[in-house]
Amino acid sequence: MDPFGWQVVELFQTLALLAGISRSGVTMVAGLLRGLDHEDVARFSFLLATPVILAAGVYKLPDLAGPLGDGIREQVLAGSVAAELPSSAYARKRRPRRA
């Protein structure tokens, strides 16, 4: 797809600022309307979500470090480790072999 097509898909994401509209759903619909196949649209939607999820996590770090984090820090640490282990194993498995 041409660069303009990707910009259209990204522009559609602004609709997710309205209440009740899914960001990834809007991204997938826009990509399908632009002629992409389902797999490419799903990958692109996931890639666009990554910085948003990271920013949301960084935004909430002060809450976790403060009194609002009392009693859940251990749970957050355990959940982070539990998510990291399988994702790292999958990434190593999917990494292309060097020749």
Most confident by average pLDDT, 31-40, 43-52, 75-84? 75-84
92: left (phi over 0), alpha (psi -120 to 50) or beta: alpha
For residue 84, name the pLDDT band (cuts at 50, 70, 90): very high
Q: State how far the Cα of 30 lies from the Cα of 12, in Å rounded to an integer.
A: 7
Q: List pLDDT tens digits, range 14-27.
A: 888 888 888 888 88
Q: List pLDDT tens digits, range 60-83.
A: 889 888 888 888 889 989 998 999
pLDDT score for 99:
62
Tokens of 20: 């009740």
Domain extent listing, the chain? 3-94
Is 55's pLDDT higher than 70?
yes
pLDDT score for 75:
92
19: left (phi over 0), alpha (psi -120 to 50) or beta: beta
